[in-house]
Structure 1
Amino acid sequence: MLNIQKPATCRGRVDFLAGFPRSGYRNRPCIHKIVSVNEKHVDSISDGSLTWVQWVQLLVVASGVFLSSLDVSVNVALPRISDYFYSSPTTTYLMIIFYLGTTVGLQLTMGRAGDVFGLRKIFILGLVTYSLAMLAIGFSPSIQSVVGFRVLQAVGNSALLAIAPALATSLFPSRIRGRALGVMTGVGSVGMIVGTLYAGVALEYMSWRWIFFGRIPICLLAILGSVTVIRGVGNQNKSSSEVTSFDWIGGVLAFMCLIGFIAAMNIATAVGWLRAETFVSLGISIFAGTFFIRRQSIIPDPLVKLGIMKDLVVAGAFGSNLFLYMGSFVNLFILPYFVGEIIGASSFVLGILLLLNAVSVSLFSPVGGYLSDRFGPGFITVLGLLIVLLALISYTLLTADSSLRQIAVRMVFVGMGMGLFQSSNLSLMMGKMKLSDLGSGGAVSSMSRGLGSVTAVTLLGWTFTSIYEWKSPAVDILQAGSSPDSVASFMYAFQVSYIAGSAIVLIGLVSSAAAWIGLKRSENSFVV
């Protein structure tokens, strides 16, 4: 129910317009005078009151997602970093494992911190932390310090990914929320394109350190924009009777649970599922997770309100996000081996194929957001997942003689489906969150993506290599194209992995359909 104060004219300085000409706004209702109890205060803004300033604010918020997406360049730079420090690939790969693990482990904490202390404050804190990490990594004297400062970067990254959707949602009324979130996710996909292209140029003409130094100007612009352009947006908006405490213990337990799970998956695939190290890590995860759930159910101000998962829409949106990223990740760590070792294409051609996917995602994310506003996010999420599912199934029809054009078409369709899904599913999730829980909603959505990707790398990657080694134990996977038998073994492992990925995405499709059904049931239950 909305509690709207009498509109006041903006005769003084309005924070969120700071730094922009105020002519034309003087007689408009002050947006910050509208207070929401159960729904977003921005829903009371008419379409005529939306200004270009809000879209500029959205781009500032999207800069956080853009910075996060630039990290794809680190994957390209791993061999160069390994050579520079004379470190083994296993040691260098800790840059990725620690970064992803910390990002996933801290997102619930960062999201709730935004709800309690202010979304904008945590977003700026994330930008500053991320920026300091860029400098520290760039000047690192050893691979150990690089890995350590990557953890610092992950702290900032977790804040950016959790808070950006919440800030974007708070800027716009629900009827155009999908379009706003579509623009934000599209900008993030552009970051992947820029990161891939920049990595090639930086590594060709400069040191690997510029993979990190090169982001600093963008970091500074994002900080400047957050300090000036989005002033007054995403501040804590609670009365004295609504002030909540922050569950630090819950934050530690959530981190231990997620990190323990990720560590268990990585240890199991590295040394074995029945090793003591695997059981210890898994035990820590289960122990921390059990106490986390119990604590969240009994304290008055939990880190995560577990009751939201009883909502079919939220549970379905979470599950579909998790399973989509888990199943579709085969395209990022199995397909490159197929293109390079079996098809025999160059790294440049592989880069073009990956760019096609990223371009497709960036183009269709805003389209998905627009369509979700027009036809409802439930239907568009199902449509996006169905496209991804059919595209992944089509990969099982590829052979060692397939053309690059056949692969490229499939990459475009996977990107199309993911673009349609990303913005509409995020709109679905954020639409169920109260104004006071937007940070938690963004964190849950972002965490499901990260957890799906990390789990996929571990489980599907292990499945793929295990099947290949079982079929061709004498031929290294990097030499899979050397004989007809090893090619046949590779194609068998490839097809099984894509079948597994498709089955996982199918589970996501069922979850998305459940969310759509839940949304239909609740359409008439909102109180205005």
Structure 2
Amino acid sequence: MELFSDQPGDEGLPGAERRLAMIAVMMATTMAVFDGTIVNVALPQITRELGASVGTAIWVTNGYLLATAMTLATFASLSSRVGFRTLFSAGLAVFTLASLGCALSPTVEVLIGMRVLQGFGGAAMLSIAPAIHRTVFPNRLLGRILGLNAVLIATSTAVGPALGGTLLAALSWQWLFAINVPLGLAAVWLSLRVIPDARVRTGEPFDIAGAALSAIAMGAMILAAEACAQLAHGTQAGEALLSAAAFGLASIVAAVAFVRVQRRARQPLLPLDIFSSVRFSLAALTSLASFVGQGIAFVALPFLFQNAYGYSAFESALLFTPWPIGIVLVAPHAGRLADRHSPALLSTVGLALFTVGLALLALLPDHAQAWDIGWRALVCGMGFGFFQSPNNREMLGNVSRERSGNASGVLAIMRTFGQCMGAALLGIVLSVYAAAAMSQGHAQMNAAEDAVAIRVALWVAVAATAVATFVSFSRIRAARGAISS
């Protein structure tokens, strides 16, 4: 396989070690991404068996998401100080031990605590995984390995609920966590053997203020998005609106303070000069807008499938299958093309196709059959797969190798932030339609009203990806300008 062939002048590791490093990183990434989505289907069972309230059990999911989002920037910065191998292996070990703790949790409170520890471990891995790929693989293969990584993340995200439902049909919820233990131990052993441990020596103190502000900004943003998602629940809408406004304001204030601290810090948590590259900055904005669209679609479509079309939760998960299939079919080829042709051009083409796919989903008929949903979801997956790996290559390829950890952190933050913005926008759209239904004397929206609200949300997703396409197109001119100069 070309990914593991050696050529004179190659950077990174020899082919055999490259293979082992890729296996370690991909095993860890799969576990971290799965655990962000797979647990949702087990919440009803966890609630019953541990005697927890629904409101408390929700934090089994939210605790993991919050811990991951709040520490992404911190771990990306720490990677240059402690080294990729040390940070990645430590995060993987914490994640694995916390998985065992989750499986053995006697109460929901212990389970939530273990999930928070899992989130910290997951953040340490996810924040630097693309940077490790850049360190391990030569530049000529960067697009290809990022294409495979994009396939892995997208497939894990989309397949997680279906896999969780399948496991729960045969086993108890504890096995959703226990399965991580042998895989995690194998990945720790591999990572300690083959992942490079290069680090940047610095006498400057760690940017504690920047780490705290970034955690507050991301954490408050996640909580604001969660509050927005509750806006559609009639009697709780007022309380949810106040919470969303308070957390949103806190996130904005913390983000502004973070930027000011980074400008003054001698060794900033996130060096802002990486954004001096126009191509990097535009790639980051493109990624943010595209994940807004994806975030809306991923949360909105289950509502459409179940509330409007009457499919079961498991059938709804299966209806997502064409989406990751499209990514699997396209992303590796897109990554290979990005090593030879303009990543900006390839990303723009992919985003245009993704936008068309979302528009097709928004135009679904009132009584859509599974095959009709499937081919439209396939178009979305193919478009997103053709966009993501070239765009990630553009981001990582336009910073120095020393800043790969920071660029990798920005990539993870854009994904998380975009998906949360998408969830928040969906909550706002649903709240507007729920309020309209209540004004007409309905206790809740009926199937037809649900379908209308979801279609409007999908058109918002189309608008977000159209913006991403426009921003991506502007990179083509920036790239040509850089070449001509």
Query: What's the TM-score, normalizing by structure 2?
Result: 0.90
1:504 maps to a residue whose letter is A
For residues 213 and 102 of structure 1, the distance between their equivalents in structure 2, rounded to whole angstroms, comes to 20
Residue 148 of structure 1, CA deviation: 2.1
For residues 161 and 254 of structure 1, the distance between their equivalents in structure 2, rounded to whole angstroms, comes to 17
> What residue in structure 1 maps to residue 29 of structure 2?
65
> What residue in structure 2 maps to residue 364 of structure 1?
330
**More divergent stretch after superposition (437-446 vs 98-107):** 98-107
Deviations 1:241-272 (A, max 9, x none): x6654212211111112212322343455454
Give the aligned CA root-mean-square deviation in angstroms: 2.6
Q: CA, structure 1 residues 278+179, in 2 after alignment: closer, same or farther (shift >3 Å)?
A: closer
> What residue in structure 1 maps to residue 149 of structure 2?
184
For residues 437 and 241 of structure 2, the distance between their equivalents in structure 1, rounded to whole angstroms, comes to 24
Residue 277 of structure 1, CA deviation: 4.6
Count of residue pairs brought into register by the alignment: 473
Residue identity over aligned pairs, in percent, reads: 26
> What residue in structure 1 maps to residue 234 of structure 2?
none
Residue 171 of structure 1, CA deviation: 1.4
1:272–1:278 Cα contact (<8 Å) kept? no
1:62–1:188 Cα contact (<8 Å) kept? no
Pick one of 92, 105, 111 that aligns with 2:70: 105
Residue 356 of structure 1, CA deviation: 2.1
1:170–1:234 Cα contact (<8 Å) kept? no
For residues 95 and 418 of structure 1, the distance between their equivalents in structure 2, rounded to whole angstroms, comes to 29
> What residue in structure 1 maps to residue 198 of structure 2?
235
1:74–1:211 Cα contact (<8 Å) kept? yes
1:281 maps to a residue whose letter is F
Residue 74 of structure 1, CA deviation: 0.8
| 1:287 corresponds to 2:253 | yes
| 1:429 corresponds to 2:395 | yes
| 1:224 corresponds to 2:189 | yes
| 1:438 corresponds to 2:404 | yes
Give the alignment of 1:132-171 within 5 angstroms.
132-171=97-136
For residues 335 and 193 of structure 1, the distance between their equivalents in structure 2, rounded to whole angstroms, comes to 12
For residues 157 and 516 of structure 1, the distance between their equivalents in structure 2, rounded to whole angstroms, comes to 34
2:437–2:443 Cα contact (<8 Å) kept? no
For residues 489 and 276 of structure 1, the distance between their equivalents in structure 2, rounded to whole angstroms, comes to 25
Residue 203 of structure 1, CA deviation: 1.0
Pick one of 222, 247, 267 that aligns with 1:262: 222
Please, which runs of 5 or more residues in structure 1 have no aligned partner?
1-23, 30-43, 481-485
Residue 341 of structure 1, CA deviation: 2.9
Pick one of 19, 34, 41 that aligns with 1:55: 19
Residue 192 of structure 1, CA deviation: 4.2
For residues 491 and 469 of structure 1, the distance between their equivalents in structure 2, rounded to whole angstroms, comes to 15
Give the alignment of 1:61-100 within 5 angstroms.
61-71=25-35, 72-100=37-65
> What residue in structure 2 maps to residue 514 of structure 1?
474
1:394–1:410 Cα contact (<8 Å) kept? yes
Q: CA, structure 1 residues 405+465, in 2 after alignment: closer, same or farther (shift >3 Å)?
A: farther
Pick one of 198, 205, 214 that aligns with 2:170: 205
**More divergent stretch after superposition (420-429 vs 508-517):** 508-517
For residues 239 and 462 of structure 2, the distance between their equivalents in structure 1, rounded to whole angstroms, comes to 24
Give the alignment of 1:18-57 within 5 angstroms.
44-45=9-10, 51-57=15-21
Deviations 1:314-358 (A, max 9, x none): 221111111111112233222122222332334443232222212
Residue 496 of structure 1, CA deviation: 0.9
| 1:122 corresponds to 2:87 | yes
Residue 422 of structure 1, CA deviation: 1.7
Q: CA, structure 1 residues 498+341, in 2 after alignment: closer, same or farther (shift >3 Å)?
A: same
Higher helix share: 2
> What residue in structure 1 maps to residue 297 of structure 2?
331
For residues 218 and 316 of structure 1, the distance between their equivalents in structure 2, rounded to whole angstroms, comes to 37
Residue 370 of structure 1, CA deviation: 0.8
**More divergent stretch after superposition (211-220 vs 67-76):** 67-76
2:102–2:114 Cα contact (<8 Å) kept? yes
Q: Indicate the structure (1 or 2) with the bigger Cα radius of gyration.
A: 1
Residue 190 of structure 1, CA deviation: 4.5
**More divergent stretch after superposition (70-79 vs 258-267):** 258-267
1:393–1:498 Cα contact (<8 Å) kept? yes
2:159–2:321 Cα contact (<8 Å) kept? no
Residue 308 of structure 1, CA deviation: 2.1
For residues 262 and 70 of structure 1, the distance between their equivalents in structure 2, rounded to whole angstroms, comes to 19
For residues 393 and 279 of structure 1, the distance between their equivalents in structure 2, rounded to whole angstroms, comes to 30
2:207 maps to a residue whose letter is D
1:66 maps to a residue whose letter is T
1:465–1:493 Cα contact (<8 Å) kept? no
1:313–1:516 Cα contact (<8 Å) kept? no
For residues 417 and 215 of structure 1, the distance between their equivalents in structure 2, rounded to whole angstroms, comes to 31
